[in-house]
Amino acid sequence: MANQAAGGGHRAAPVHTDPEEVSVLTALSAVSDPVRITLIRELAGSADWTRSCGSFDVPVGKAALSHHFSVLRGAGLVEQRDEGPRRVNRLRREEFEERFPGLLDLLLREDGAADAE
């Protein structure tokens, strides 16, 4: 009875945003973060629905991680589904590609300049 009140608990079904209604600024901001870039890359290297949130190799705690996934959902980049006690992910490749052509490729194709070298 009456969930969603105080505290937390993750069974409220993740809120998703369709890439179609995401602004360029939102998309770019979502993608301008080292941790999130890593998440996207690892996600791209795995089959859909095979990676739970905790399975990523990033140097942040659960709370921050949860936040990052929330941002990714809000940008229409990631879809989540509850599977037993864990939340599994899927990169919305095609949908996102259609809304922001080439953007995902940029992130995945990375090769050059490492920032400060």
- Positions touching DNA (CB under 7 A) are 3-12, 14, 29, 33, 35, 52-55, 59-71, 80, 84-88
Binder of residue 70, out of DNA, a second copy, none (CB less than 5 to 8 A by kind): DNA
Q: Quick one: 1 or 113, whose CB is closer to a second copy?
A: 113
Position of tokens 């995902």?
104
72 contact partners, CB below 8 Å, separation of at least 6: 30, 36, 39, 40, 78
Cα–Cα dist 68/36, whole Å: 6
The DSSP output letter for 25 is H
> Please, which of residues 75-114 interact with a second copy by CB under 8 A?
99-103, 105-107, 110, 112-114
CB 26 within 8 A of CB 74: yes
Q: Quick one: 75 or 87, whose CB is closer to a second copy?
A: 75
> Please, which of residues 5-44 interact with a second copy by CB under 8 A?
20-26, 28-29, 31-32, 34, 37
